[in-house]
Amino acid sequence: MLKVLGKGNKERLIPIGKNVQRLLWRYISRYRPEPAMPKSDLLFLTMDGRPLTKDRIDKIMTYYGRKARLAGVRCSPHTLRHTAAVSFLRNGGDVFSLQRMLGHASLEMTRRYCELADIDVKKAHITASPVDNLTELAGYRRTKNHPARQTSSCLKLD
């Protein structure tokens, strides 16, 4: 678990996976500068050991967004948070856990992420629907005279 300080100085615990744990441990043990203030428990620091501010993080992300030649996309901490939230839902996460991790007081804000994930599901279904994209799959062949003629004696649906 990672303790995060959010808006209004609200603290919350965020679960992190094995890969993030490994990457954070590498950062702490190899790259993290010594804190300028010895008792600082902040994770991310500037090169001179001071706390990394919101503005500095925004500038860093904007820099790397330009360097990666991202166009038409806002490259910011908020965009990263938004992308992570929608990805969490796409990967089967539940809305109540997401609400807690994002620090939303009500489900109203979290519901917006759900609507975006639902739109993604609809778009994905349009492009990847097994039945709508049925051609040579499962023994079907499309011809001018027979739009969906079965060419095998048995059709197995999974």
Residue 14: φ, ψ to 5° = -115, 125
d(CA 19, CA 30): 16
The SS3 assignment for 69 reads coil
DSSP assignments along 107-131, one per residue: HHHHHHHHHHHHHHHHHHHHHH-TT
Q: Where are the domains of the chain?
A: 1-52, 53-127
Instruction: Count how many residues are written for the chain.
Output: 158
Q: Which residues of 19-33 are buried (b: 16+ CB within 10 A; e: fewer)?
A: eeeeeeeeeeeeeee
The confidence score (pLDDT) of residue 96 equals 86
The confidence score (pLDDT) of residue 106 equals 81
The confidence score (pLDDT) of residue 153 equals 39
The confidence score (pLDDT) of residue 5 equals 83
pTM score, whole prediction: 0.63
| Strand ranges, E, within the chain | 2-5, 11-14, 140-141, 149-150
The confidence score (pLDDT) of residue 144 equals 46
The confidence score (pLDDT) of residue 116 equals 66
- Taking Cα atoms as reference points, which of 84, 100, 106, 85 lies closest to residue 4? 100
Encode the chain (158 residues) as per-residue pLDDT tens digits: 888 887 778 888 888 899 999 999 999 999 999 999 888 888 999 999 999 988 999 999 999 999 999 888 888 888 888 888 888 888 888 888 888 888 888 888 787 777 766 666 677 667 776 667 666 555 555 544 444 444 443 444 44
The confidence score (pLDDT) of residue 86 equals 84
